[in-house]
């Protein structure tokens, strides 16, 4: 029986991808559809995609699939053919990355967004906190493409809502977009409904990175009684690609945060955020190099050199210690709470 999990160390896999010159394409896609046996589907998917040399992160649940992957460019058509074998996934929209550049070990490369294949089964592909049995994803908002988005956002009665986390919004967002001030989607949903409660007749356009969160958010808003709800088809990634292809005005400014090794893809040259340590213009996210921390934050090149890639003087001091002492310090620490945690209150803790 073929392996159903990766059996090579992630360190070795990372070195492999760095030394592999095979052209790769970064893709994201999702689909809400019923999966009766997610575990069985997961096992087959892992085996099949492993044969195509697919790398990346895929989540499955009874409600559907959510994927961010990297695939050898030469296998792209075979991959599409494979997806088309599933009726629910036939001719599925695939979001091709806007910017393939990745910085690994201070080396800028292309197509190195992932270095391992992870396929996991979860309760939901997007954790939403919704427990109302009457909620139905089939009743979702209307899709808008890039051209329709631009036209609708020119109207005074249109409100644009960003359904991403604060750390994503911080480095780039659409013009006049409203931020929902939370770092969890389950908290954002009721907050968005409450914030818009007095404007139920307005046009509401919801957007996110690739479309998966705003699609569910649009269904939630309709469920809560809002009438004119839209969501950006394919999210920011598809919008930018369509705007380029059709030479449309681009209403997105800054950088699009992505959940892979790139931690962001450049959309415009504007830098709309600042270094969390010195306050200079910067929009490069990094994880603190202290293995007992790994906090996600924005750091300019100057502070990166000065702080050696750490988020604070405390972490800077820890990485100077012998490895055995560092291991003792991080033993039992749940650093997962810091990864991709960018709540506004935590900004105060970054000052070195």
The tokens of 351 are what? Answer: 């000052």
Q: Which of 208, 214, 293, 300 is catalytic?
A: 208
Which residue from 104, 170, 98 is spatially nearest to 341, judged by alpha carbons? 170
Phi then psi for 45, rounded to 5 degrees?
A: -60, -45
Residue owning tokens 């908002």: 141
DSSP secondary structure string for all residues of 65-93: EEEEEEEEGGGHHHHHHHHHTSGGGTT--
> Three-state SS for 299?
coil
Largest pairwise CA distance in the chain: 62
Which residue from 101, 119, 107, 93 is spatially nearest to 24, judged by alpha carbons? 101
| Catalytic residue status for 31 | no
| Whole-number Å distance between alpha carbons of 70 and 54 | 6
Which residue from 285, 282, 249, 258 is spatially nearest to 175, judged by alpha carbons? 249
- Give catalytic residue positions: 208
């Amino acid at each position: 029986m073929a392996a159903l999990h990766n059996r090579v160390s992630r360190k070795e896999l990372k070195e492999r991808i760095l030394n592999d010159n095979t052209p790769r394409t970064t893709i994201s896609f999702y689909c809400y559809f019923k999966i009766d046996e997610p575990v069985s589907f997961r096992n087959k998917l892992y085996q099949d995609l492993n044969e195509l040399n697919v790398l990346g992160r895929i989540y499955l649940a009874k409600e559907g699939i959510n994927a961010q992957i990297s695939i050898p460019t030469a296998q792209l058509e075979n991959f599409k053919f494979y997806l088309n074998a599933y009726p629910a996934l036939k001719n599925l929209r695939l979001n091709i990355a806007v910017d393939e550049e990745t910085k690994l070990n201070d080396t800028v490369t292309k197509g190195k967004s992932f270095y391992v294949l992870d396929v996991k089964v979860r309760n939901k592909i997007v954790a939403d906190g919704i427990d109302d049995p009457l909620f139905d994803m089939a009743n979702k908002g209307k899709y808008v493409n890039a051209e329709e988005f631009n036209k609708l956002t020119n109207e005074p009665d249109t409100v644009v809502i960003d359904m991403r986390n604060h750390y994503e919004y911080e480095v780039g967002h659409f013009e006049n977009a409203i931020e929902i001030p939370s770092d969890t989607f389950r908290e954002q949903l009721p907050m968005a409904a409450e914030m818009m409660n007095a404007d139920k007749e307005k046009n509401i356009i919801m957007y996110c990175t690739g479309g998966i969160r705003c699609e569910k958010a649009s269904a939630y808003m309709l469920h809560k009684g809002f009438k004119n709800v839209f969501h950006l088809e394919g999210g920011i990634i598809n919008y930018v690609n369509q705007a380029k292809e059709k030479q449309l005005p681009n209403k997105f400014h800054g950088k699009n945060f992505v959940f892979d090794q790139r931690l962001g893809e450049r959309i415009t040259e504007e830098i709309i955020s600042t270094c969390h340590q010195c306050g200079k213009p910067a929009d490069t996210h990094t994880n603190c190099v202290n293995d007992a921390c790994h906090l996600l934050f924005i750091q300019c090149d100057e502070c990166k050199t000065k702080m050696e890639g750490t988020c604070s003087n405390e972490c800077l001091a820890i990485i100077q210690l012998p490895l055995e002492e560092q291991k003792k310090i991080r033993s039992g620490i749940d650093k997962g709470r810091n990864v991709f945690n960018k709540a506004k209150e935590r900004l105060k803790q970054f000052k070195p």
